[in-house]
Amino acid sequence: MKQGRLIVVSAPSGCGKGTILGRVLEDKERFYYSVSCTTRAPRAGEIDGVHYHFLTRERFEALIAEDAFLEHAEYNHNYYGTLRAPIDEHMAAGQDVILEIEVKGASQIRALRPDASLIFIVPPSIDVLRERLINRGTEERDVIEQRVALAAEELQYAPDYDYVVVNDDLDTAIADFCAVVRAVELKNIK
Amino acid sequence: MKQGRLIVVSAPSGCGKGTILGRVLEDKERFYYSVSCTTRAPRAGEIDGVHYHFLTRERFEALIAEDAFLEHAEYNHNYYGTLRAPIDEHMAAGQDVILEIEVKGASQIRALRPDASLIFIVPPSIDVLRERLINRGTEERDVIEQRVALAAEELQYAPDYDYVVVNDDLDTAIADFCAVVRAVELKNIK
């Protein structure tokens, strides 16, 4: 059986990453979505084992001690981490593992796993992103400006990624993302 | 305007490379097919500027002296070479340049142009290739065995390529080749 590939996906918020990944992940035989671990409390609607593995601090620290994490970090007094074993198991079973992670986590994965392919989903421009967030109408203007500022910062990381998919038209972005994933499957891993 | 990409394609004979490339090259705005130069005489049906640029030995050697070739080599007392200028011009104009070349030429391009993406089209197996050549019925058995032996040798070069497309089913191979080409367009050139 052919070994699956490790595919790391990042995107500033508002770039349609959820929609694009949702489409790709419909093929559950081909892809395995890597669920992160966290010590933060579940939010309304979040399901353990689907959105995150929700762990106690003690359990998380025991896993750190066991070197069970490919990467982990602490934000706002909560741990977040990616378990190593499920990734290797699903890849060995021939599935592509999709790992959704923010830009700094992606840099860590790049260093730890040279076999990983990193895909960055970006808006056509910061102005278009701002316009979309405003049109969505779900957030106050100052929250939108914070998101836009964070996105501008994250976009600086684009050169760290192997492939950049611009989400201008959603259908094109989905097709482009699928093309990159297929190419990654056909790539010689050095 | 976005810079085009340099895409190098190799395949043992009988792998459907001509058919796959023919399909892709229908899009003449997006792609430019790099025409090689040679000092050998045109064969029946070969058109100057389409199949090759047919040059005199004097002209070819003058171009060598001018460093006009990205790569060149001599086989059977004839020169073959790839001009540098048209590649750069068409890439600068935003077109992807498709360069069809055998495995040793591809290795040279790899060293000279780290921005190039190398795609290798291969048969599902040597046995399938032999069967296809036999079924085609255009060649004697000993010629087929020579081709098969050469293909087996060329397949050793697969690890030198960035992407390997297996031509088992032709439509799948065309789709895979197109996915790789699109991914190459979305690739960050380091």
Question: Residue A122 corresponds to which tokens in the numbers above?
Answer: 């970006």
Which residue, chain included where needed, has tokens 């070197």?
A67
Give the pLDDT mean for A53-82: 95
* Count of residues making up chain A: 190
Residues of chain B with Cβ-Cβ distance to A176 below 8 Å are 182, 186
C-alpha span between A146 and A141 (Å, rounded): 9
Nearest by CB to residue A164, choosing from B159, B184, B188, is B188
Residues of chain B with Cβ-Cβ distance to A182 below 8 Å are 175-176, 179-180, 183
**What structural domains and CATH numbers belong to chain B?**
6-185 (3.40.50.300)
pLDDT for res A136: 86
Prediction pTM value: 0.92
Confidence at B61, pLDDT banded by 50, 70, 90 = very high
pLDDT for res B1: 67
pLDDT digits (tens, 9 = 90+) for A93-125: 999 999 999 898 999 999 999 999 999 999 999
What is the rounded average pLDDT for all residues in chain A?
94
CB A40 within 8 A of CB A77: no
CB B80 within 8 A of CB B36: yes
Say whether pLDDT at A13 is over 90.
no
ipTM: 0.91
Say whether pLDDT at B116 is over 90.
yes
Residue of B nearest to A165 (CA): B186
Give the pLDDT mean for A18-24: 92
Residues of chain A with Cβ-Cβ distance to B165 below 8 Å are 186
Strands B31-33 and B37-38: unpaired
Provide the CB-side half-sphere exposure for A145 (13 A, CA).
Answer: 3
Give the pLDDT mean for B71-81: 92
Hey, are the CB atoms on B176 and A161 less than 8 Å from each other?
no
Give the pLDDT mean for A142-167: 94
Inter-chain Cβ pairs, chain A and chain B, closer than 8 A: 52
pLDDT for res A1: 67
Hey, are the CB atoms on A179 and B176 less than 8 Å from each other?
no
CB A119 within 8 A of CB A21: no
Say whether pLDDT at B81 is over 90.
yes
**Is A189 at the interface with chain B, CB within 8 A?**
no
Residues of chain B with Cβ-Cβ distance to A180 below 8 Å are 179, 182-183, 186
